[in-house]
């Protein structure tokens, strides 16, 4: 459940194609219906979906006995409190039908100090969503909002991760941050709970930084992480390596398209990157993944 602008593809379009390529059946539900993403300078048209609309869809699915075959629920941008609360009802219904279903949550709240959503959603995420999430994929700003603390380095990120584990989140992946000890690199951090009384396993991934701003990278990385966690049976190191290798290839191809004038809006070139999605070349990858010492 996420955005689905027809003219430009952050949100569902960034998640559906990779998941399908990697062998997953996907049933998408829009959280908004916009003409294009909100980064376009001429604005956008459309509407934010509400909880009543989602409840009606759930009713129809349930009446036709279509709610019993799901393994995962993945959510991205959600623009209203009523829709977010109804998402929780959807998850509870899915869990009643299939107790093993897992919730992957990309908590799209904002970035670099700016909220993208009504501030009321932050409290709903903290109080109601976190306790039922299996995997959370925030950026640095979202991690700070959800833990009510500043995150400025690996040490403070670890403290934030432990706060989320205490709320019940099994795995946290910090998908982007503005601190790294290696100039010219992007840092991703992941923390996997080992249970009460044990320190979580924390990993870092470093990959080359590609200049420019690209829309939809958070949606894409969340989908890739979900797919590879399932396909690799929880091998978090292998999952991160494959997801980041694909991301690096997609962004580099997108940058080349921009430089050549064929992709002026910096939309991720997913179709052109299908081989990198299906079979990321980890043997020659410029991504390094390692477990950090406690």
Q: What domains lie within the chain, and their CATH numbers?
A: 2-291 (3.40.1190.20)
Residue in 27, 178, 219, 294 annotated catalytic: 219
270/268 Cα distance (integer angstroms): 6
Check residue 8 and give its pLDDT: 38
Check residue 180 and give its pLDDT: 85
- Each residue's pLDDT tens digit in the chain (294 positions)? 544 444 334 568 899 999 999 999 999 888 867 666 666 667 767 777 789 988 998 899 899 998 888 999 999 999 899 999 999 999 999 999 999 999 999 999 999 999 989 999 999 999 999 999 999 999 999 999 999 999 999 999 999 999 999 999 999 999 999 998 788 899 999 999 998 889 999 999 999 999 888 888 999 999 999 999 999 998 999 999 999 999 999 999 999 988 887 766 678 999 999 999 999 999 999 999 999 988
Check residue 9 and give its pLDDT: 40
Whether 89 sits among the annotated catalytic residues: the reply is: no
Check residue 22 and give its pLDDT: 98
Check residue 195 and give its pLDDT: 86
Paired with 115 in beta bridges are: 110
pTM for this structure?
A: 0.91
217/252 Cα distance (integer angstroms): 12
101/47 Cα distance (integer angstroms): 30
291 Rama sector, left if φ>0, alpha if ψ -120 to 50, beta otherwise: beta
**255 close to 211: Cβ distance less than 8 angstroms:** yes
SS3 4: coil
Beta strands in 123-243 (DSSP E): 135-136, 171-174, 185-192, 201-208
């Amino acid at each position: 459940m996420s955005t689905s602008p027809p003219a430009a593809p952050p949100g569902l379009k960034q998640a559906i194609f990779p998941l399908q390529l990697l062998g997953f059946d996907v049933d998408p539900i829009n959280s908004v219906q916009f003409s294009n993403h909100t980064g376009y300078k001429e604005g956008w048209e459309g509407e934010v979906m509400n909880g009543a609309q989602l409840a009606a869809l759930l009713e129809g699915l349930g009446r036709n006995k279509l709610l019993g075959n799901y393994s995962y629920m993945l959510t991205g941008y959600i623009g209203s409190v009523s829709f977010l609360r109804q998402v929780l009802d959807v998850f509870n219904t899915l869990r009643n039908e299939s107790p093993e279903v897992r919730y992957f949550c990309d908590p799209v709240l904002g970035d670099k100090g700016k909220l993208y959503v009504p501030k009321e959603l932050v409290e709903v995420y903290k109080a109601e969503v976190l306790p039922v999430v299996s995997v959370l994929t925030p950026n640095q700003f979202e991690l700070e909002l959800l833990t009510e603390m500043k995150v400025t380095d690996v040490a403070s990120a670890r403290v934030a991760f432990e706060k989320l584990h205490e709320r019940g989140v099994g795995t946290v992946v910090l998908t982007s941050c503005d601190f790294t000890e290696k100039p010219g690199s992007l840092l991703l951090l992941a923390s996997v709970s080992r249970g009460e009384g044990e320190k979580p396993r924390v990993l870092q991934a470093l990959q080359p930084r590609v200049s420019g701003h690209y829309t939809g990278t958070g949606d894409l990385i969340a989908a890739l992480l979900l797919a590879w966690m399932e396909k690799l049976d929880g091998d978090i190191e292998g999952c991160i390596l494959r997801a980041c290798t694909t991301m690096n290839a997609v962004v580099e191809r997108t940058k080349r398209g921009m430089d050549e004038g064929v992709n002026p809006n910096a939309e991720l070139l997913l179709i052109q990157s299908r081989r990198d999605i299906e079979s990321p070349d980890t043997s020659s990858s410029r991504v390094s993944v390692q477990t950090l010492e406690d």
